[in-house]
């Protein structure tokens, strides 16, 4: 399923992004959200498969060793952070617990199980809507939605979105997403999981969960082979629809909410012109030595073109130093690749 032209564009933009934002490493995946086809999958640093036994040498830059033989896009799990707020809200929308206009109160830090939850920027905004929750990436709002839904349903939906299992893509070394048994959850666990801490997944698993929203509500198995030959006979690998996760109406509502999140959110300064995009940033502090390190983050942006849905894409940068925020690192890389792709596919502008 790999498109070599798109693969080339993605590898070029990813290397530029890792170097520009002084990241330890980076991964990008481009998919067809309706078939699960992997259009491009890239990691940087990487290695030359024609010279697999080349010695590993220390890089002179700040990113990891200049030869990396791991496919981080499927083999490295991480806490995605705020991108998971979209899954929490999608759960609440599907259960008719909230609508885009539902409001909550953000008047200061909130206590769960003796622990304090605060917003990433320590700012508070009073009465907010669900749309504003995603625009401002509001932790207090996401925790409120999670508790409104309840731990059993959050657990059920996260599992249904594929966030507790391998995708079964058929590539060597795929890691399993990790979601602790709901019986172990306390109130603070539910709050944390609702905004993307305490759950881990690979970039592929995160992107595939967003494909559910893009394609109208179904989890589809990622596919990298469409057919193979056996005994001189071609055998097709069909599109595999695993299960319906949310309703078509819920998927459409979430697409609209995520479009507004991009329009009015942190990424708006880098958005490509004339195209509507539905997506979500995630700036996740990395757990080091028993605590989250504010200076060490994984930066993610995941989304798709609102109207054409020709492709979905995730960009993940590990420990960017130029800025710790996804809106200033992963987003520009995503938008640069998207700009290449709308030209490549001749996708008509929305406005």
Rounded average pLDDT over 88-113: 97
Q: For residue 61, what pLDDT is reported?
A: 47
Q: Tell me if residue 231 falls in helix, strand or coil.
A: coil
How many angstroms separate the CA atoms of 53 and 304, rounded? Answer: 38
pLDDT above 90: residue 51 = no
339 by Cβ neighbours in 10 Å (0-12 / 13-18 / 19+) ranks as middle
Region 70-84: mean pLDDT is: 94
CB 147 within 8 A of CB 111: no
Structure tokens belonging to residue 93 = 């929308």
DSSP state of 195: T
Residue 289: band (very low, low, confident or very high) from pLDDT cuts 50, 70, 90: confident
Q: Give CA–CA dist 16/340, Å, rounded.
A: 14
For residue 68, the model assigns a pLDDT of 60
Cα–Cα distance measured from residue 83 to residue 94, given in angstroms and rounded to the nearest whole number:
18
Mean pLDDT over 82-87 rounds to 97
Mean model confidence pLDDT for the chain: 93
Task: Work out the average pLDDT over 189-215.
Answer: 97
Is the pLDDT higher at 151 or at 60? Answer: 151
Which pLDDT does position 148 carry in this prediction? 98
pLDDT at 118 over 80: yes
Q: What is the DSSP string of 125-176?
A: -EEEEHHHHHHTT-HHHHHHHHHHH-HHHHHHHHHHTTTTS------TTPPP
Is the pLDDT at 63 greater than 70, yes or no? no
Place of tokens 């391998």: 166
Provide the pLDDT confidence category of residue 60 given band limits of 50, 70 and 90. very low
- CA-CA distance, 299 to 316, in Å (whole number)? 6
Is the pLDDT assigned to residue 59 strictly greater than 60? Answer: no
Residue 46 has a pLDDT of 85
Indicate the range of 64-73, 126-135, 214-223, 264-273 predicted with least confidence.
64-73
Instruction: Give 29-44 pLDDT, tens digit per residue.
Output: 999 999 999 999 999 9
Query: pLDDT at position 49, please?
Result: 73
| Residue 18 backbone dihedrals phi, psi, to 5 degrees | -60, -40
How many other C-beta atoms lie within 10 A of the C-beta of residue 236? 9
| Structure-block tokens of residue 205 | 């698993």
The alpha carbon of 41 is separated from its chain's Cα centroid by a whole number of angstroms, namely 14
Question: pTM of the entire structure?
Answer: 0.95
């Amino acid at each position: 399923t790999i498109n070599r032209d798109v693969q080339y564009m993605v590898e070029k933009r990813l290397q530029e992004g890792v170097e520009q934002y002084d990241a330890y490493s980076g991964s990008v995946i481009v998919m067809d959200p309706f078939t699960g086809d992997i259009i491009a999958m890239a990691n940087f640093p990487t290695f030359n498969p024609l010279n697999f036994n080349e010695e590993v040498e220390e890089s002179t830059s700040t990113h990891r060793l200049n030869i990396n033989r791991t496919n981080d896009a499927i083999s490295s799990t991480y806490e995605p952070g705020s991108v998971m707020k979209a899954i929490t809200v999608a759960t609440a929308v599907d259960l008719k617990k909230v609508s885009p206009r539902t409001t909550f109160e953000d008047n200061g830090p909130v206590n769960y199980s003796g622990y304090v939850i605060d917003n990433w920027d320590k700012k508070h905004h009073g009465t907010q809507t669900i749309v504003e929750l995603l625009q401002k990436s509001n932790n207090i709002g996401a925790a409120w939605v999670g508790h409104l839904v309840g731990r059993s349903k959050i657990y059920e939906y996260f599992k249904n979105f594929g966030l507790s299992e391998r995708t079964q893509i058929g590539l060597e070394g795929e890691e399993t997403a990790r979601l602790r048994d709901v019986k172990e959850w306390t109130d603070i666990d539910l709050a944390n999981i609702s905004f993307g801490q305490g759950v881990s997944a690979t970039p592929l698993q995160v992107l595939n969960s967003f494909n559910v929203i893009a394609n109208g509500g179904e989890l589809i198995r990622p596919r990298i082979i469409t057919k193979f030959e056996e005994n001189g006979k071609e055998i097709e690998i069909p599109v595999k629809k695993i299960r319906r996760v949310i309703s078509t109406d819920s998927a459409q509502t979430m697409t609209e909410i995520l479009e507004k999140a991009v329009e009015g959110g942190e990424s708006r300064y880098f958005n490509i012109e004339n195209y509507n995009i539905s997506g979500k940033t995630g700036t996740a502090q990395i757990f080091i030595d028993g605590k989250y390190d504010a200076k060490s983050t994984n930066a993610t942006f995941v989304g798709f073109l609102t109207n054409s849905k020709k492709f979905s894409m995730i960009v993940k940068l590990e420990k960017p130093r130029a800025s710790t925020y996804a809106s200033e690192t992963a987003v520009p890389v995503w938008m640069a690749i998207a700009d290449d792709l709308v030209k490549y596919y001749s996708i008509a502008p929305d406005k």
